[in-house]
Amino acid sequence: MVESVFSKIIRGEIPCYKVYEDEKVLAFLDINPLSRGHTLVIPKIEVAYLHQLPDDYAAAIGRVLPRIARAIMEATGAEAYNILQNNGSLAHQAVFHVHFHIIPKFKDSGLIIGWNPHRLLEEEAEDLLEKIKERL
Ligand code: AMP
């Protein structure tokens, strides 16, 4: 895998506005924020997609994500926020190192979501359950 800019940030070769750091996790302000307080939370391991993340790094992120979100909410006064985690260029991933966006939502800034659902059909659900469960 070609190294991403986030590995350079982890090593301190590229500066960032560091919000939080521990042994396995780093959080810093997004350089092109969608809203005030937009922060990225990343594992300190070079992995492109969430499904490739080892359990211990996943757990380390899960443990601190609510705490960082809470601090951002309090610091910005936001009353709503989105957690966004893109995997694959089709899903708008631009940096191929796992990252969680914490994006405070204000009236006139934050994440804009396009949502175009269809009704889940019974046969679709049953087929999916069988295929997913046997792979877990
Ligand atoms: P994604 O589309 O989910 O891959 O988002 C990548 C995010 O990384 C974007 O919101 C960028 O603004 C952000 N980003 C890219 N380079 C940097 C950097 N050097 N420091 C902080 N954020 C960055």
* Structure confidence by residue, pLDDT tens digits, 43-80: 999 999 999 999 999 999 999 999 999 999 999 999 99
Give me the torsion for CA of 21, 22, 24, 25, rounded to 10°.
Answer: -30
Cβ(94) to ligand 1 under 6 A? yes
**87 pLDDT more than 90:** yes
**21 pLDDT more than 80:** yes
Cβ(32) to ligand 1 under 6 A? yes
**26 pLDDT more than 70:** yes
Q: Which atom of ligand 1 is nearest to the CA of 28?
A: 21
Residues that are catalytic = 99
Cβ(93) to ligand 1 under 6 A? yes
- Segment 21-27 shows an average pLDDT of 98
Q: Name the residue with the closest Cα to ligand 1, atom 18.
A: 31
Burial class (CB in 10 A: 0-12, 13-18, 19+), 132: exposed
Task: Compute, in angstroms, the gap from residue 30 CA to the centroid of ligand 1.
Answer: 6
- Mean pLDDT score of the chain: 97
Contact 82, 110 (CB under 8 A): yes
Assign domain 5-135 one CATH number from 2.60.120.10, 3.40.50.2000, 1.20.810.10, 3.30.428.10: 3.30.428.10
**2 pLDDT more than 80:** no
**1 pLDDT more than 90:** no
Q: pTM of the entire structure? A: 0.97
Of the candidate ranges 2-6, 32-36, 78-82, the one whose mean pLDDT is the lowest: 2-6
Of 98, 103, 99, 58, nearest to 83 by C-alpha is: 103
Cβ(30) to ligand 1 under 6 A? yes
Task: Compute, in angstroms, the gap from residue 114 CA to the centroid of ligand 1.
Answer: 20
